[in-house]
A = this chain, B = another copy of it.
């Protein structure tokens, strides 16, 4: 679906921005944090915690679940990745710090995920919450379905 023209630059951009953000916030972008972010950005598919752990064991034999979950927490807290609750999986944020009104389209066929932003939609969500006298703090919007490419392929 997402067919980025040059995924190497997706990856290097993400790492560059993460580094900048950590500098700015006075956070430490340690080798562990960097390698896990790198793994998550290895493609545009969601990453599962224990898959990350398995990969991590290739470079760090003694890696264990807390190693991964703590790092995921760090990356989540600082907006560098998102958690996809309906998949129990994680994906790199495609524009850290810019804003938080993001949602996700994920294709059940090709597994790719697209992070989308839409002010109108964000407004509609806030409006609805407000109609219900509700103060939103954390919004999960995950849309599963099929992308155009996969729909086209299926028709052939």
Query: 19 A-B pairs, CB-CB below 8 angstroms?
Result: A85-B142, A86-B140, A103-B128, A105-B129, A114-B134, A116-B132, A121-B124, A124-B124, A134-B143, A134-B145, A135-B145, A135-B146, A135-B151, A136-B145, A139-B142, A139-B143, A140-B140, A140-B141, A141-B141
Q: Which single residue of chain B is at the shortest CB-CB distance from A122?
A: B124
Nearest 5 CB-CB pairings of A with B: A133-B148, A85-B85, A137-B145, A140-B142, A136-B145
A91 at the interface (CB under 8 A from B): no
The answer for the CA separation of A150 and B142 in the assembled complex, in Å, is 27
Q: Within A90-146, which residues are at the interface with B (CB < 8 Å)?
A: 103, 105, 107-108, 114, 116, 118, 120-121, 124-125, 128-129, 131-146
- The answer to whether B136 and A128 have CB atoms under 8 Å apart is no
Partner of A125, one of B114, B121, B134: B121
The answer for the CA separation of A20 and B40 in the assembled complex, in Å, is 47
Q: Identify which of A142, A143, A144, A148 gathers the most chain B CB atoms within 10 Å of its CB.
A: A143
* Interface size grouping (class) on chain A: 20 to 34
A147 at the interface (CB under 8 A from B): yes
